[in-house]
Amino acid sequence: MAMLAAIAISLLVVMAIAIARALTGPTIYDRILAVNLFGTKTVLLIAVVSVFAGRPDYLDIALVYALINFISIIGVLRYFEYGGKPTEGQ
């Protein structure tokens, strides 16, 4: 149990660092990468909580969250690649 608590605390620290990077990233791609890292660490944290609480059904929630994270990052990247840049006429 102490090992799971240490893992959860270290994941929370990494998540805080990722949020700090998302807020202060020099480019939009650094910020998107930090948000993606935060989502990935959230999936890991849900998995650790699942083991810690003895509730294997939380792993289904972690998988759904991972899919939502992946699809949303792809959507944001496509937006900034194609539609996020203003043209000279606007």
Quote the CA–CA distance of 23 and 64 in Å, as a whole number.
26
Residues 6 or more apart whose CB falls under 8 angstroms from that of 40 comprise 66, 69
Q: Is 85 exposed, middle or buried (0-12, 13-18, 19+ CB in 10 A)?
A: exposed
Could you tell me the residue ranges of all domains in the chain?
A: 2-83
The pTM (predicted TM-score) of the whole model is 0.84
33-85 residue pLDDT tens: 999 999 999 999 999 999 999 999 999 999 999 999 999 999 998 888 887 66
